[in-house]
Structure formats: structure tokens, C-alpha cells
Structure 1
Amino acid sequence: MSFFNRITFQTPESVELEFSLAGIGNRALALIIDYLLLGLTLFGFFIAWTFLSIQLFDFIDKIFANSQNLGLWLLAIFFIATFSIYAGYFVLFETIWRGQTPGKRFAKIRVVRDDGRPIGLQQATLRSLLRPFDESLFIGAFLIMFSRREKRLGDLAAGTIVIQTQTSTASATLKISEQARSLYGYLLQITDLSPLLPDDFAIIREYLQRRGAMALKARTALALQLTQQVQAILDLEKLPENVSPDVFLEAIYLAYQQKEF
């Protein structure tokens, strides 16, 4: 096993993006947090189910004076509902939060497809259904530690990988204008940056790193194209006055690093 494994995606624009794989430590931290939240949810469900079952038993006894089969039905429904909550927790969050659960947000990791695209309902469902097998005899942990792309059974079946959402590239390596430094705080206040995925951010970072070597015409056109794409993703109708595409992208770069996942 290698620490801080890296993986490279190639976007449709033929830009190579490199990310760190999440690693067993971050994934274990995320799972602990998720299981704490899931345990609280199941505990609340158990209390409510116990109360409703007692009420239902009393009701059936008063009317039919025979509740022997009811207990078996209630037990079967209880186990089905418990598994649905267990599996549904991961499916729900990884679908609506684009590859993250509360635990993954805290650990700053995300599930993506093998090509870097966001996962959907199908991938989230496959990962969740295979989770019990991964956790049996720590099969998933062994696969994560000793496979090159750190995949458990659910990842292999769904065609997914888990990456870190934070980039190791520091903003100090880029030239950031003072106008962008004052603008990024304003962007954090007026817009939600969560629709921006790690590969979107990496494309912006790639442009900011390489723009100095570009011809002026190509640089202007690419900056404008990237700005329009970011505006569409974030649903920003127009830029603040006197803000150029380059300054806007610099501000987005700073704001993205400061946002909480």
C-alpha cells in the first residue's frame, strides 16, 4: 500500500486532473461519524416502533383476541425497515450531496465515478447494498489497503473511487490580485459553492497556473469560457462591476478553498 495515492482524470477538454485518493484513515473517520448519526436515527426509529407496536397489539387484542401472528409480521417489517434505513442513509446522501455523506463532508472526501464524474442513484445504491459484505470480516478494509486504487467491493461493482476534496496546491504558488482577495469573501456570502466539484476547481487551478504561458488572445477566450461555465454552475447571472474574468476565477479559487464541505 502506498500513502497519499494519486489518481489522474482526463476531462472532455483533454485537461488532466490529479487528485489524492481518500485513504483508509479518512474513510474510517467518515464511516465512524456516519454510523454515529445512523445509530441515533435507528435508535429513534426503535423507540417509535416499540411504542406503535404496543399500541397495535392492544388494539388487535381488543378486537380479535388473537395477536399471535401479528408479532411475526411486525418483526419482519421491523427488520426490513431497519435495513432500508441503513442502506437508504448512504444512498440518499451520496445521491443528493453528489458523492458525500455527513461523515464524508467532515473528513473532506467524496465518491466519484472512475472517470471523475459525479455519482448517481445507481452507483450510490450499488455501493450501499454491498456495504454489509465489505464490512464482513473487514473485507472492504483489506481491499482498500492493498488495491492500487483503494476500492472496496462496492466501488468495484459501481465503478467508483473515493478522493480527497481538498487540493494540496497552495494559493501562494499562484499570482492572486488584491481585487480577487477582496472579492472572494463577497462571493462566499452571496453564493453556494457546493455545486462546484473538485474537477471544476482543478480546471480553474490549471488555468491560473498556466495562463502566464498563453497567448493573450487564447488566454482571454479561455478565461471568458471558464467564467461563463462557473456562472452557469453557480447560477450567477452577472459579475460584479469592473471585475474581469481573470479576477473572478482567482476569487473563485480562493473562495473554494475556504468553503466548508
Structure 2
Amino acid sequence: MERAGFWSRLWALLLDGLMITIPLNLIWFMYQGEWTNNITQGWAWDIVYAAYMTILPVIWNGYVIGKRVLTIQIRKEGDQPVGLLQMFIREIIGKLFLGIATFGIASIISAFMIAFREDKRAIHDKLARTYVKNRI
């Protein structure tokens, strides 16, 4: 089984960011009548983004939009579908809280782990017992 590497995971993450920020900016524009670059700042953005990254893979069999486009999928160890607990640990504890608590150092270490480890698993993958695999 081939694991998804650094670049495919990065492109998927960037694509997901675009898929959320553009619609939210359009909604904000229709509501307030002004375009803003501040939509991705603050706690409201954190909640929306964390909910998207946590809930959608449970509903959509390990995919978010960026991962679906790049044909990579989040799976639980043993090639099982992810559940809400795994995604909560992965996204909220392993990415959000750990990233904040370490002032971003955990995110940098995770990027290096994905790039250089043979199993391509980051800190959040280890904590949640997940991995990202290529579906092709």
C-alpha cells in the first residue's frame, strides 16, 4: 500500500482552504456588502475549519474535498474507515491544540515526518492511529 507523501497532502490542504474561504467570503460579501481578507482570522474560522476537517471524512469515507480531488484518503490502522473519535483526536487534539500549545513547532515537525519517514505519518496520524494513502 502506498502512503500519500508531503506534496499531495500539502496540495490537498491548500485546496481545502480555498474550498472553504471562497464560499465563506461570498456569503460574507452578500451579507455585509464588502469583500474581506479577514474571514480566516479568529475563533469562528477555527470552528468552521475544524468541523469541516473532522466531520466530513467520517461522512465521506476518509475524504475531504482536497483529498478526493487528489485521490488520497484518511484511513484508520488496519485499512478501516475513520470514525469521529479518530478524526477528533487527529484534527482537534493532534493538529489544532498541539499546534497552538507548541507555537507551531508540532506542525513543522509533522511536515518533516511526512516528508522523511517511511510510513509518511505525522504526529496527528500517530496520535489518532490513522494514515493517508493513495487510492490510485
After superposition, residues 18-33 of structure 1 pair within 5 angstroms as 19-33=1-15
After superposition, residues 152-163 of structure 1 pair within 5 angstroms as 152-163=122-133
Unaligned runs of 5+ in 2: 34-40
State the Cα distance separating 1:164 from its structure 2 match.
0.5
Structure 1 stretch 92-101 or stretch 38-47: which is displaced more? 38-47
Which residue number corresponds to residue 136 of structure 1?
104
Aligned length: 122
Q: 1:112 to 1:40 in 2, by over 3 A?
A: same
State the Cα distance separating 1:80 from its structure 2 match.
3.3
Q: 1:147 aligns with which of 117, 132, 135?
A: 117
Larger radius of gyration: 1
When normalised by structure 1's length, the TM-score is 0.42
Q: CA RMSD in A?
A: 2.4
Which residue number corresponds to residue 104 of structure 1?
67
State the Cα distance separating 1:136 from its structure 2 match.
2.4
After superposition, residues 26-41 of structure 1 pair within 5 angstroms as 26-41=8-23
CA distance in 2, matches of 1:41, 1:152: 29
State the Cα distance separating 1:150 from its structure 2 match.
1.0
CA distance in 2, matches of 1:110, 1:47: 33
Bigger RCO (CA 8 Å, 6+ sep): 2
Which residue number corresponds to residue 81 of structure 2?
118
After superposition, residues 69-84 of structure 1 pair within 5 angstroms as 79-84=42-47
State the Cα distance separating 1:151 from its structure 2 match.
1.1
Q: Kindly provide the amino acid, as one letter, of the partner of residue 8 in structure 2.
A: N
Q: Is the 8 A contact 1:42 1:82 kept in 2?
A: no
Give 3-state SS (helix, strand or coil) of 1:162's partner. strand
Q: 1:47 to 1:140 in 2, by over 3 A?
A: farther
Identity of aligned residues (%): 27
Unaligned runs of 5+ in 1: 1-18, 52-77, 167-261
